[in-house]
Structures are given as C-alpha cells and as structure tokens.
Amino acid sequence: MQPNVVPRSDLTQLLGQNLLEGRALAVSREYGLMATQGARRYESRDHGVSLAVDEHDRVAWIMLHFTDDAGFQPYRGAIPGRGGTIARRTSLWAALGRPTTSTDPDRTHHDTTGPTDEWAFPWFVLHAQYAPDGETLLRVVLAH
C-alpha cells in the first residue's frame, strides 16, 4: 500500500442500497458522510467522497476526488475493482487491464478536459477522469 493510504470499507457496497439503513448506514458513518443542504447528495470533504441518492435514499453514484478540487481532500483509499492505490492512468491500466471505453480529447485545441476511461464490472461501473496531462487521476465515479 502507498503511504497515507487508509484502509476502509469498499464504497461499491453502497451502490443501490438505502444509505439510511443497515450496512450502508455503517459505511456512511465510517466515511463521515453528511447530507448537503437542499440536495440529495452526501459528502465527506475530509475523505474525498461524495455521492447522490435517489428519491428512495438508494445510492445512485459515488465520486472519489483525488485532487483537492472543490474543497475536497484527496481520497486516500484503495481504488475499487482492485484498481490499486496509485492515482495515475498507467497504474489503473496496469491493475485493471484495458478499459471497456476510453476517450482522449484532441490536445491541439488546448482543451481543459483530460481523457476518460471506463471499466465495467459485474456489479458496478468505474469511470475515471484524468487531468489534461493525460495521466493524473482527478476523480472516479462509481455507478450501477
């Protein structure tokens, strides 16, 4: 494990679960998830995690923040799906194999959007978004 990586429960367990019940509630407490005002979103800025729930409080998606964007501390856990602990594109490809889908915007227009990769697992989809350098992982979205 990389230095500063904190072992915690696998967040993919929350997908599709009612966040206010049972194991999902325990995991949300472990991460310190707090409801945001006026939205069906929960976040833990200290742990670099945000998520959204549907009208039945079931977790629809989870975002892991790997840079200190929007006031979030970088996520310091293992990347789900055995993605490892190094927030780099080459590390994700080495750990997860070739993505199901991949985009790489044309850099000649000085685009501020970096490439994206997506891996489909039997129980969730992992969508990775990178910085314009094409290597630095910015965020991961986990969904069904």
- Residue 3 is assigned to a structural domain of this protein: no
pLDDT tens, the chain, 144 aa long: 455 666 788 899 999 999 989 999 999 999 999 999 878 999 999 999 999 999 999 999 999 999 988 899 999 989 999 888 899 999 999 999 999 999 987 654 556 679 999 999 999 999 999 999 999 999 999 998
Domain boundaries, position 104: 11-143
The residues, any chain, with a CB within 8 Å of residue 79's CB and separated by 6 or more, are: 64, 85, 87, 92, 95, 126, 140
69: in domain: yes
Number of folded domains in the chain? Answer: 1
CA dist., res. 106 & res. 25, Å (int): 42
